[in-house]
């Protein structure tokens, strides 16, 4: 098959296969179609280390769905959500795909950043649909492959180059009641005053930095052992040759993946990196649509897809990505720096994905963030979150905790 024909075929495949599960959804929804209308759309911001944008879609049947759009470091997401409110009022909340596509037409071209608002709305619609139909969102998404989803944290040693510090880190990790067994963290850079090879402007790691990185991660592996996974975290800052050298530096500790080592957009350098690296390459948190994932998949530009539901359309668009990945035998994972609401939404979504690794989370610290939802016992147990069996996302907000952590100027939505 010619290259152009192959790519056209794959685009068609990606656009259609990811929604095959909707056949089952439509059968479940058919008896309730036309009985419920969207009455209102509300937004409420929480304040913590970041801001968290919670969304509620209310229906005239007295049921409501909640979701989460992107918070910081985004700007104006709340206003974008409210700007879409007139398009939702009066619509049937069970017509999720129709609503999503209608809102999605507003996210083309220069307005593409609206996808962060659309993603949260779409997520809330699945919660509402689950409540109307009396089943978990994972059932509506095609059914579960697992009853619990692995999550990973950001626990890191204070000084990777100090073995005693790494041993202290390993002890803290093992004592954590949430039981995380996967940890993602980056590495410190050197001071240009003490490292002649360090240039603040370029995309290169110096020889000293590469030696430090190798030694630092080897210290971590020695301290934590082989029953925990380590992911190497970057922020799109390196060039191709440096990314390859970085992968070689951390290869001895067998990381679960190397994340976002090069700038976001696809280029042939991603394909070359994946081909050269023995460490799995992961990217995707900035993708807005399945179209963004497409060149990475068909050109072998990554080994693991790692989107964020709040960035990339919510459940439907990410199911398309997962279907595309499945044709190339590539697994999924999820970026997630959102609140417990987005975490639990991602857990429902991840349960419906066959080839799934783990979801990032900032919960499990047994602080107020866990308690934003009502729960008994630990939310994270042995490094996993159980998939709720209750309808929709299976969660209920704790009004007292939410009210205590509202961002300045925000009010409880009632």
Q: What whole-number distance in Å separates Cα of residue 13 and Cα of residue 323?
A: 9
384 C-beta neighbours (distance < 10 Å), count? 20
Bridge pairing between strands 356-360 and 332-334: parallel
CB hemisphere CA count around 404 (13 angstroms): 10
**pLDDT score at 73:** 79
Strand ranges for 147-222 from DSSP E: 148-152, 182-185
Q: What is the pLDDT of residue 47?
A: 96
Instruction: Please tell me the distance from the alpha carbon of residue 269 to that of residue 275, in angstroms, as a whole number.
Output: 10
- Measured between alpha carbons, how far is residue 5 from residues 11, 12, 290, 300 in Å? 10, 11, 19, 18
Pairing, β 182-185 against β 148-152? unpaired
Number of alpha carbons in the 13 Å side-chain half-sphere of residue 361: 29
- Cα–chain center distance at 172: 26
Helix/strand/coil percentages in the chain, nearest 5: 40, 15, 40
State how far the alpha carbon of 370 is from the alpha carbons of 154, 240, 277, 299, 364, in Å. 16, 39, 37, 40, 6
Half-sphere exposure of 44 (CA within 13 A, CB side): 22
**3 state SS of 386:** strand
Domains of the chain listed by start with CATH number: 22-137 (3.30.390.10), 148-396 (3.20.20.120)
As a whole number of angstroms, the distance between CA 305 and CA 356 comes to: 10
What Rg, from alpha-carbon coordinates, does the chain have?
A: 22
Phi, psi of 253 (to 5 degrees): -90, 0
* 1, two tokens: 């098959």
Alpha-carbon dihedral 52, 262, 244, 182, rounded to 10 degrees: 10
Q: How far is CA 275 from the centre of its chain?
A: 25
Would you state the pLDDT for residue 183?
98
CB 54 within 8 A of CB 43: yes
Instruction: Report how far residue 353's alpha carbon sits from residue 333's, in angstroms, rounded to the nearest whole number.
Output: 10
Question: Residue 110: what pLDDT?
Answer: 47
Cβ atoms of 387 and 138 closer than 8 Å: yes
pLDDT tens digits in sequence order for the chain, 414 residues long = 566 666 665 555 555 556 678 888 999 999 999 999 999 999 999 999 999 999 999 999 999 999 999 998 777 899 999 999 999 999 999 999 999 999 876 555 445 568 999 999 999 999 999 999 999 999 999 999 999 999 999 999 999 999 999 999 999 999 999 999 999 999 999 999 999 999 999 999 999 999 999 999 999 999 999 999 999 999 999 999 999 999 999 999 999 999 999 999 999 999 999 999 999 999 999 999 999 999 999 999 999 999 999 999 999 999 999 999 999 999 999 999 999 999 999 999 999 999 999 999 999 999 999 999 999 999 999 999 999 999 999 999 999 999 999 999 999 997
């Amino acid at each position: 098959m010619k290259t152009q024909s192959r790519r056209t075929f794959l685009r068609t495949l990606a656009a259609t296969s990811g929604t095959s599960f909707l056949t089952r959804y439509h059968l479940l929804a058919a008896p309730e179609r036309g009985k419920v209308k969207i009455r209102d759309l509300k937004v409420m911001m929480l304040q913590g280390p970041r801001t968290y944008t919670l969304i509620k879609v209310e229906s005239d049947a007295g049921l409501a769905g909640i979701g989460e759009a992107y918070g910081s470091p985004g700007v104006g997401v709340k206003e974008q959500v409210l700007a879409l409110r007139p398009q939702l009022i009066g619509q049937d909340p069970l017509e999720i795909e129709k609503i999503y596509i209608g809102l999605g037409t507003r996210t083309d071209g220069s307005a593409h950043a609206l996808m962060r608002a659309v993603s949260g709305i779409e997520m809330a619609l699945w919660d509402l649909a689950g409540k109307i139909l009396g089943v978990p969102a994972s059932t509506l998404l095609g059914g579960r492959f697992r009853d619990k989803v692995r999550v990973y944290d950001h626990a890191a040693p204070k000084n990777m180059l100090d073995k005693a510090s790494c041993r202290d880190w390993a002890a803290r990790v093992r004592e954590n009641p949430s039981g995380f067994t996967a940890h993602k963290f980056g590495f410190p850079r050197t001071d240009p005053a003490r490292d002649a090879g360090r240039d603040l402007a370029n995309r290169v790691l110096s020889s000293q930095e590469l030696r430090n990185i190798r030694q630092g991660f080897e210290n971590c592996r020695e301290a934590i052992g082989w029953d925990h996974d380590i992911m190497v975290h970057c922020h799109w800052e390196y060039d191709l040759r440096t990314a390859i050298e970085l992968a070689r530096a951390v290869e001895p500790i067998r990381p679960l993946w190397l994340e976002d080592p090069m700038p976001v957009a696809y280029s042939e350098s991603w394909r070359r990196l994946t081909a050269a690296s023995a460490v799995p390459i992961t990217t995707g948190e900035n993708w807005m649509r399945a179209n963004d994932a497409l060149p990475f998949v068909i050109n072998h530009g990554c080994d693991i897809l790692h989107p964020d539901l709040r960035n990339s359309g919510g459940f439907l668009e990410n199911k398309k990505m997962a279907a595309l990945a499945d044709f190339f035998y590539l697994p999924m994972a999820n970026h997630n720096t959102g609140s417990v609401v987005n975490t639990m939404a991602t857990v429902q979504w991840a349960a419906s994905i066959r080839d799934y690794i783990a979801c990032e989370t900032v919960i499990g610290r047994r602080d107020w963030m866990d308690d934003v939802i009502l729960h008994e016992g630990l939310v994270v147990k042995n490094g996993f979150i159980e998939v709720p069996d209750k309808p929709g996302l299976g969660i209920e907000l704790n009004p007292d905790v939410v009210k205590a952590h509202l961002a300045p100027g925000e009010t409880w939505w009632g």
